[in-house]
Every structure is written in C-alpha cells, then in structure tokens.
C-alpha cells in the first residue's frame, strides 16, 4: 500500500505531462527528437524510473516527501499523468523500465547492484527480450535457447554457455546498455530462464524497426548469435524453480498490465480534453456521448487503481490487472476514434496530435497482451472465484 498522496503526485507531475505534449509531435515525426526532450531537462526520468532507495541521490519529492515510484499504485498514477502528454515517451524513456520489475522479483543482491548501478547512469536504456518473430510472446514456446558449450557451426567463435535466438518488437533494444533475455535451457514450463545481458557482448546484434505508433519506444529486433552467458547472468538462482524463470516472470506481467492500462486512461483523457479545447459548443447528442465517455473514464481509472492495489498485494493473481487492461483499452480505442469526427471530416489531418493518439492505441493494445488474452485471463480468474470486484467490468 502506498503512503504517497496520489492527488499530490498527480498535481506535481501535470506540468511534466504538459511538457511531453509540447514535444510529442516532434518525437512522433522523428523518434531521435527524444534527445531534445531529454536535453531540455523537463522530464525527471531517473526520479520516475522506480529505482530502489539507495541508488539515486535525488529521489522525487512531492510536498517534501520522497517518492520512489516502486509500487504499482505509484507507477499507474505517474504513467497516466505523463501519458496525457505522450504515452510513448513513458515507455521509451531511459531507465529500469520493464526489466527493473523482473530484476526486483528475481535478482539476487549482486545482480540487483549490477543492474541498478549501471542504469542509474544518465541516459541508460534497458530492454526486455521476450517476444520472438515466430513465437510471439508465448513464453512457453520460446525458441531462443541457452546452448551449452562449443562453437556454433554457423558463426564459430564462442565457447561455453551462449544465447542463440532472435527477439523482435522489443522496446529500446537498439540503444539499450543492458536488459533481460528470456531463453529456454530445457523443455517444459520450468525450462525457461531469464538472463541479465549487457548489449556490448559479442554476438548481440540489435536494430530499430519502423513503426506507426508509440514511436518513442523505438521498437527493435535483436539477433543473439552465440552471445556468451556467464553464471551470474541467470536471474533467480537463489529461488525455487517455480519462482524463477517464466513462472516467476508472470508476477512481473501482472504488475505491468495496470501500467499499460493507465497509459490508455491517459490517452483517453488527452483525447477528451483535446476536443473540448478545440470546440466549445456541442449538440445535445454529442454532449451526452462526451459525458458518457467521462463517466467511463472515471470508472476505468478506478478499476486501474484497484488492479494496481491488487497487483501490489498479490502479484501472482492477474485477474484484476487483466480486467483493467481490457477495460481501459476498449475505452481508449472507442474515444480516440469518436473524437476526430467531432472536429470535422479532415480532423486527423488538421489535428496531428489526435492522429497520433489514434495510432498509439494499437501499440498499447499489443503491449503485455491483447484484450482477447486479457479476457481469457479474466474468465479464468472469475471461474476460480478470484477478484470478485471484476464485476466492475
Ligand atoms: C509498443 C510495444 C512495445 C513492446 N515492447 C516489448 C518489449 O519490450 N519486449 C517484448 O518482448 N515484447 C514487446 N512487445 C511485444 C508485445 O509484448 C507482444 O506483441 C504482445 O504481448 C502480443 O503477443 P503476440 O505478438 O504473441 O500476439 P498474440 O498474443 O499471439 O496475439 C496475436 C493475435 O491473436 C489473438 N489471440 C491470441 N490468443 C488468442 C486466443 N487464445 N484466442 C483467440 N485469439 C487469440 C490476439 O488477440 C491477437 O489478435 C511490444 C509491443 C508493442 C506494440
């Protein structure tokens, strides 16, 4: 449970959201413009990155109280407020990001130091390498493997355990300094491990992809050609087999889904505010539709907060996080498509920020699993009697 005043945190970060909005179109046109935003100093990305106490000299302070942005509740408030300006920058900023959550769950003390001391350096990006071109994010079917010893006939070279495989649609990977790679070392659900890997190792070959939305994330792909793996790279060696690897990482996903849902809430808020700023009078029917969207926005925000509290209390239960993601994405998609026609037939052309919002939502849909997958998780949780509050959906 968070001790932070969440309204104060929101108020504190509103100007940062506004600053992100000011840079959003430039970054959408050229993701390299993210550096201009970072140069401006308006985005306190290190303070918002979720570092454990002790790794930063200067944590965020809200009304004098240090806020480390470590709980899912704090993360969703930060994500929603900043996503009002640009959801893609929230995911594309330097920092621990998704790998930080998995490191928190699975790393031992030495690995935690290695990760956070490195990422505490300014402008250090990380990556989270799960999705594969032929297997998607179905972690049980991963092809990326830890190969034992011997040089690969195709590449020659490395001896000892190595990573071989191909990851695709991985955020920030082409500019990351380190991150985590999911790879199989034997068949079965306990046969997938998570490994902490520095990107300057031989055989780590990453490149950005071209995308239409969430452009600051700079999605990329990486070919792992006999990347040497050291014993201390493997996360969770001190944990039981059911807590490490894939099964342990499920806890990470359950904590990240409310955050993606909150990005969708921020985008919805941005679209509704935008149309009200651009048009002052509406027909009765339009007023009714906008009022209904506002009501649903409040309900979605409440559900996301509830899901974040649930994820903080029991990260093993993904029921409410799945409900929150499905609900928030339904609304974001509906609102971002409903708003442009209110500004006339050429609105997406004349209001490029609205066009960006429409293009960002499919990226949020894919992140951490589509709504179809969330609904399956929700149904399972419901059938097993978990999270009765899912009645809210
Ligand atoms: C902006 C962005 C950032 C990302 N960042 C990362 C990252 O940092 N690291 C990383 O590893 N990956 C990342 N990804 C990839 C993302 O996590 C996956 O694309 C996502 O989890 C979906 O998985 P998938 O591609 O396997 O699709 P699937 O889950 O296979 O879905 C494909 C289609 O099949 C449907 N479907 C799936 N299961 C069922 C079912 N049982 N019944 C009916 N229909 C079904 C889905 O609804 C969807 O339409 C990112 C993606 C985006 C867009």
What does the alpha-carbon distance between residue 389 and residue 391 come to, in Å, rounded to a whole number?
5
Q: What pLDDT is attached to residue 332?
A: 98
Q: What pLDDT is attached to residue 393?
A: 44
What does the alpha-carbon distance between residue 367 and residue 348 come to, in Å, rounded to a whole number?
24
Kind of pairing between the strands at 60-62 and 65-67? antiparallel
Summarize the confidence of residues 318-337 as an average pLDDT: 98
Summarize the confidence of residues 353-362 as an average pLDDT: 98
- Cα 53 to chain centroid, rounded: 21
Q: What pLDDT is attached to residue 129?
A: 97
Q: What pLDDT is attached to residue 156?
A: 55
Q: What pLDDT is attached to residue 245?
A: 76
Average predicted confidence (pLDDT) for the chain:
93
CATH of domain 123-233: 2.40.110.10
334-343 core/surface letters (b: 16 or more CB in 10 A; e: else): ebbebbbebb
pLDDT in tens, 134-143: 999 887 889 9
Give me the phi and psi of 21, to 5 degrees please.
Answer: -60, -40
Q: Please work out whether the CB of residue 266 comes within 6 Å of at least one atom of ligand 1.
A: no
Q: Say whether pLDDT at 153 is over 60.
A: no
Confidence of residue 91 (pLDDT cuts 50, 70, 90): very high
Q: Please work out whether the CB of residue 357 comes within 6 Å of at least one atom of ligand 1.
A: no
Q: Say whether pLDDT at 1 is over 50.
A: no
Residue with tokens 């928030």: 328
Nearest partner of 203 among 246, 241, 237, 160, judged by Cα: 160
Q: What pLDDT is attached to residue 371?
A: 97
Among residues of the chain, what percentage have pLDDT more than 90?
A: 84
Q: Say whether pLDDT at 29 is over 80.
A: yes
Q: Where are the domains of the chain?
A: 6-93, 123-233, 245-392
Q: Identify the CATH class of 245-392.
A: mainly alpha
Q: Say whether pLDDT at 150 is over 70.
A: no
Q: What share of the chain is helix, strand, coil (3-state, %, to 5)?
A: 55, 15, 30
Q: Which parts of the chain fold into alpha helices (H)?
A: 6-29, 34-40, 72-92, 97-106, 109-119, 245-278, 284-313, 319-342, 347-350, 352-366, 371-383
Å from CA of 363 to ligand 1 middle: 10
pLDDT in tens, 111-126: 999 999 999 999 999 9
Q: 371-377: long-range contacts (C-beta < 8 A, 24 or more apart)?
A: 371/325, 371/326, 371/329, 371/330, 373/322, 374/257, 374/322, 374/323, 374/325, 374/326, 375/322, 375/326, 377/318, 377/319, 377/322
Q: Please work out whether the CB of residue 211 comes within 6 Å of at least one atom of ligand 1.
A: no
Å from CA of 237 to ligand 1 middle: 28
Summarize the confidence of residues 369-386 as an average pLDDT: 93
Q: What pLDDT is attached to residue 155?
A: 54
Atom of ligand 1 nearest to the CA of 98: 8
Q: Please work out whether the CB of residue 31 comes within 6 Å of at least one atom of ligand 1.
A: no
Q: What pLDDT is attached to residue 148?
A: 81
pLDDT in tens, 40-90: 999 999 999 999 999 998 899 999 999 999 999 999 999 999 999 999 999
pLDDT in tens, 197-223: 999 999 999 999 999 999 999 999 999
**Per-residue CA distances from 378 to 68, 139, 260, 318, 347 (Å):** 30, 19, 16, 8, 36
Q: Please work out whether the CB of residue 134 comes within 6 Å of at least one atom of ligand 1.
A: no
Q: Say whether pLDDT at 158 is over 60.
A: no
The four Cα atoms 156, 158, 164, 167 give a dihedral, to 10 degrees, of: -100
Confidence of residue 387 (pLDDT cuts 50, 70, 90): low
End-to-end CA distance of the chain: 23
Q: Please work out whether the CB of residue 253 comes within 6 Å of at least one atom of ligand 1.
A: no
CB 215, CB 27: distance < 8 Å:
yes
Q: What pLDDT is attached to residue 157?
A: 56
pLDDT in tens, 12-21: 999 999 999 9
Q: Please work out whether the CB of residue 367 comes within 6 Å of at least one atom of ligand 1.
A: yes
Confidence of residue 250 (pLDDT cuts 50, 70, 90): confident
Nearest partner of 225 among 162, 182, 179, 183, judged by Cα: 162
Q: What pLDDT is attached to residue 56?
A: 92
């Amino acid at each position: 449970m968070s001790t932070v005043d969440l309204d104060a945190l929101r108020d504190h970060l509103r100007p940062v959201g506004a600053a992100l909005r000011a840079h959003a179109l430039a970054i959408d046109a050229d993701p390299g413009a993210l550096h201009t935003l970072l140069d401006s100093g308006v985005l306190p990305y290190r303070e918002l990155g979720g570092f454990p106490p002790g790794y930063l000299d200067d944590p965020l302070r809200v009304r004098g109280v240090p806020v480390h942005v470590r709980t899912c509740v704090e993360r969703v408030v930060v994500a929603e407020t900043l996503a009002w300006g640009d959801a893609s920058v929230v995911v594309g900023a330097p920092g621990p990001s998704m790998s930080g959550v998995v490191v928190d769950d699975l790393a031992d003390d030495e690995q935690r130091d290695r990760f956070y001391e490195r990422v505490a350096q300014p402008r250090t990006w990380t990556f989270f390498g799960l999705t594969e071109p032929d297997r998607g994010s179905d972690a049980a079917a991963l092809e990326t493997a830890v190969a034992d010893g011997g040089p690969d006939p195709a590449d020659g070279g490395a001896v000892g355990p190595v990573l071989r495989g191909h990851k695709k649609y991985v955020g920030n990977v082409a500019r990351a300094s380190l991150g985590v790679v999911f790879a199989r070392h034997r068949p079965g659900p306990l046969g997938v491990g998570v490994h902490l890997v520095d990107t300057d190792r031989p055989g780590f070959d990453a490149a950005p992809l071209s995308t239409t939305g969430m452009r600051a994330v700079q999605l990329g792909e990486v070919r792992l050609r006999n990347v040497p793996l050291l014993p201390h790279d493997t996360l969770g060696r001190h944990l039981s087999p059911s807590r490490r690897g894939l099964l342990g990482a499920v806890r990470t996903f359950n904590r990240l889904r409310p955050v993606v849902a909150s990005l969708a809430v921020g985008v919805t808020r941005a679209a509704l505010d935008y149309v009200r700023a651009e048009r002052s009078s509406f027909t009765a029917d339009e007023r009714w539709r906008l009022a209904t969207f506002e009501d649903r926005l409040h309900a979605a925000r409440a559900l996301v907060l509830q899901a974040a509290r649930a994820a903080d209390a029991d990260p093993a239960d993904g029921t409410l996080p799945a409900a929150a993601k499905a609900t928030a994405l339904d609304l974001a998609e509906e609102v971002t498509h409903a708003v442009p026609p209110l500004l006339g037939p050429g609105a997406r052309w004349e209001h490029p920020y609205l066009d960006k919002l429409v293009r960002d939502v499919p990226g949020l849909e894919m992140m951490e699993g589509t709504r179809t997958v969330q609904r399956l998780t929700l149904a399972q949780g419901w059938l097993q009697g978990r999270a009765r509050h899912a009645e809210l959906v």
